[in-house]
Structure 1
Amino acid sequence: MKTSRLEAFSDGVIAIIITIMVLEMKVPHGAGLSALAPLWPVFLSYALSFVYIGLYWNNHHHMFQLTESINGGVLWANLHLLFWLSLLPFATGWMGENHFERWPTVLYGLNLLCCAIAYYLLQTVIVRHQGPQSQLATALGRDLKGKISPVLYIAGILGAWLVSAWVGLGFFVFVALMWLVPDRRLENRIAALSRRSGRSGTDSV
């Protein structure tokens, strides 16, 4: 099976998730700047989740650029990822409305952990379907960032639970920043394939 319908469906779901999150930011009744002050936790939680959704969309897009075909297992693994991503608006809203209290922050971290595990499972299912010598498997290599992220999420969850919600948030922000640093593995592989395809097209003329 080709990947086009899966990618289109995933893009639509992710767009809806972002829309739901921004709708949680209610317009204040007052007209002064002071009316915005109570909204800062909601805005900060929205901004963090927006970055995470953007990171997942970006990496999902690059991963499927190196995926030649899919099977039923990939479809279900992708739905599993979308399920946990679709819960982010709830976790984000609860954390923001309660000003980063302990339990909402713990739940947010658990949601992020489940998203990371689901993405890793999707990646693993694709590699298993295409084989260890596939373009995706070669581009991923040892995938250190993908393996260390769940560990940092667990540290953040424990920090929020045992110490302070802000300690947990520190870990969650750190993981987001870690993934914001450009990861050239997949992009370089895609570019190499494009150059190879271009040379092949020139040779055949």
Structure 2
Amino acid sequence: MYTLDANNLPAKTHYKLLSGSIIPRPVALVTTMSDKVINAAPFSYFSVVSAEPPLVSISVQRSGTKQKDTARHAIASGELVVHISSEGIVEELNKTAATLSEEESELDLTSLTLAPSTYISVPGIAEASIRMECILYDHIEIKKEDGHTTADLLLAKIVGYHLSPDVYDQETGYLDAQSIQPISRLAGNDYSKLGELFTLKRPK
């Protein structure tokens, strides 16, 4: 067993250890909007926070001191759309990870199409089987000991769901994981599919 002092490790090592051990991680494809452009980007530092109120979290790592477009747009407008990434859109999703100028939209690199939202002004991605219209619930700056901000943690409150009948059973209210075909992030350039399912009943 190797024992590493976390206080003496560089950020690159932390990234390798965290992204390689906390796996698989779901991937959110997030759309936001500025006055000039609609932004789309994937994030694997993403999870559910609460069902009451319905909250999800997205951690947007900064590039040096610069805030990324997704964080800046969401904070400024208070709106974003979170999509569950799936096998059917993963190739196009990967294209949205490109580094572009603020005036360019990543969606122009893809074949993805926009769908109008019902409750907010930011549009979503039509090809996603699950999309969640959100408003910004809170923004937390993640800082190092020296006070330098390294990430923007967005807590997003869901105000509307759009669910494909291919994945959602309206009668039972349940989603079918195998129909969703979710993809997840591993380390490096690696992703994974859902894999084998098994069931364990919770103890009383």
- Asked if these proteins are the same fold (TM beyond 0.5), I'd say no
Q: With the length of structure 2 as denominator, give the TM-score of the two structures.
A: 0.24
Query: Higher strand fraction: Structure 1 or Structure 2?
Result: 2
Larger Cα Rg: Structure 1 or Structure 2? Answer: 1
Q: With the length of structure 1 as denominator, give the TM-score of the two structures.
A: 0.24
